Structure 1
């Protein structure tokens, strides 16, 4: 492992409300039962990633994460309850940052907090830190994929992301008005078929040098660029992040049926 990856921070944005889940609480606080253990989605994700091997100043392939930044809404009662019950509020490797109005601003708040922490705590001659941003609603991330991502971005300053090649036929939609004898309505129709060669589903984690991601994200947001993920901010700044082939079961819990599917995957890992 390159010395440039010795200190890699994990950022877990968890300030969203997950409206498409149609649940009584944000999706990260819904419960799953895996191998007889019932916890919330955020607990499964956080516990799993903090258990990823971390050995400071080593040369092994899996360096793990130095500390985790959990980004939550200020006054979030669900996080406060879980944090107290599980001892996250006293965990030496967990820091909490308040989120922004959108995910990109939540990530920005986390990056600024990390930068401030390092300026106050780290020696000036220490190696530059990296940051890995992971969707908290992706609890099925495998250590094998993490190993592959760490290895792929070693000594590659533009960083990289986990991604899955598109397998299905892809359609570009359009909007049209459908009229019948009784009513008319707007509906989606196929505009054309998209060539799926070199078309990828972006997954997480997305891993970049801390300072590069912070600078590029700030510039992109200041310019009014629509930042859809961390890689898009890096791309806006001219970087070409690596695409690292990841498992397709690294799904993001978005709809009700995804929760059941995530439970199935985790119970069969």
Structure 2
């Protein structure tokens, strides 16, 4: 039986939030934002371990009590300059401290998506467990899309047919994901699926919903808190 592992790259700063505190530690519903993600992943009986990839100089993590997530939680202070580098470094470091196999599944999830629910998580694992490639949670684009020119005016309207908005977790086998990120150089890819696509594979889109939002701007915190209070 193949195992499931989760990996959370949390070495970034989140400059668009306009806050001195790294985004993953901002208070959300009385707790650091990342703790909501950890609660969902660590409470899943199907996930063997949850790796959190921090910046080497992260001094904020030790200010909090994470004991409720033991013994599944594994902290790796090997984050890189980009998200892709952090995931790649984390994959290599995880191999050194766990029995993760080449064909085991790795679910990479953003620390800034604190509203992931167990229903979405299980749906992802159920639909991809026997898939040859893997895939990701995503939602079809619902809004009309406009492309702007250099002056900030509408250049044209983009067709939204067959367009999806990528979310996380993104779930791939350990060896394939390691190879994909190594080939990409760990710099240009904004998500893991993009690295897999660059190898010529076609990840599966697993229907999610808008509640699995990414907290990007300060105003997103209020919406995330509402979702957490009304799951």
TM-score (norm 1): 0.81
Please give the alpha-carbon distance, in whole angstroms, between the structure 1 residues aligned to 2:157 and 2:219: 27
Q: Deviations over 1:40-91 (max 9, x none)?
A: 1011111222112x1xxxxxxxxx2110110111131211212xx2337x93
Please give the alpha-carbon distance, in whole angstroms, between the structure 2 residues aligned to 1:155 and 1:47: 26
Runs of 4+ that moved beyond 2 A = 85-88, 114-118
Unaligned runs of 5+ in 1: 55-63, 176-186
Rg: which structure is higher?
Answer: 1
2:190 counterpart residue number: 228
TM-score (norm 2): 0.94
Q: Secondary structure at the match of 2:147?
A: strand
Please give the alpha-carbon distance, in whole angstroms, between the structure 2 residues aligned to 1:76 and 1:26: 9
Verify: 1:107 aligned to 2:87, yes or no: yes
Please give the alpha-carbon distance, in whole angstroms, between the structure 1 residues aligned to 2:55 and 2:95: 20
Please give the alpha-carbon distance, in whole angstroms, between the structure 2 residues aligned to 1:116 and 1:87: 22
1:116 counterpart residue number: 96
Alignment match of 1:68 (pick from 44, 50, 53): 50
Aligned length: 230
1:127 shift after superposition: 7.8
Q: Secondary structure at the match of 1:256?
A: coil
1:139 shift after superposition: 0.8
1:239 counterpart residue number: 201
Please give the alpha-carbon distance, in whole angstroms, between the structure 1 residues aligned to 2:102 and 2:113: 29
Q: What do you get for the CA RMSD once the two structures are aligned?
A: 1.8
Please give the alpha-carbon distance, in whole angstroms, between the structure 2 residues aligned to 1:233 and 1:173: 27
Alignment match of 2:211 (pick from 238, 249, 259): 249
1:93 counterpart residue number: 72
2:180 counterpart residue number: 216
Unaligned runs of 5+ in 2: none
